[in-house]
């Protein structure tokens, strides 16, 4: 086998195997003679042929800041219980606040 299997390429691209099968059927993947996937060439072809409005946005873009008032309220409750409180700062995301808590 010269290239990647559908499963390996799906893992490489961060997509489901079904999405890779659809891309393969639509001609958005470059295949070697044995039917395996040329990852580097397929990445370029998929990027050029895929509609940007149908691509997934990164998880980082979905994170929204938690209001300072909410963090302060949680911090006060934690301190009353004798626990460590998260740092309060502007543009703190839920994930950051949760990480500070651990």
- Please report, in tens digits, the pLDDT of each residue of the chain (102 residues total): 689 999 999 999 888 999 999 999 988 899 999 999 999 999 999 888 877 787 665 555 566 777 778 878 888 888 898 887 766 655 666 676 666 655
Category of 49 on φ-ψ map: left (φ > 0), alpha (ψ -120 to 50) or beta: alpha
- 31: helix, coil or strand? strand
What's the whole-model pTM score? 0.52
DSSP conformational letter for 66: P
23: exposed, middle or buried (Cβ count in 10 Å: 0-12, 13-18, 19+):
buried
């Amino acid at each position: 086998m010269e290239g990647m299997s559908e499963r390996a390429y799906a893992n490489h691209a961060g997509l489901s195997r079904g999405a890779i099968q659809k891309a393969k059927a639509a001609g958005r993947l470059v295949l070697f003679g044995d039917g395996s996937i040329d990852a580097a060439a397929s990445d370029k072809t998929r990027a050029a042929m895929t509609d940007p409005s149908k691509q997934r946005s990164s998880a980082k873009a979905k994170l929204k800041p938690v209001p300072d008032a909410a963090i302060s309220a949680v911090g006060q409750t934690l301190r009353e219980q004798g626990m460590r409180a998260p740092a309060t700062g502007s543009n703190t995301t839920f994930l950051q606040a949760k990480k500070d808590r651990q």
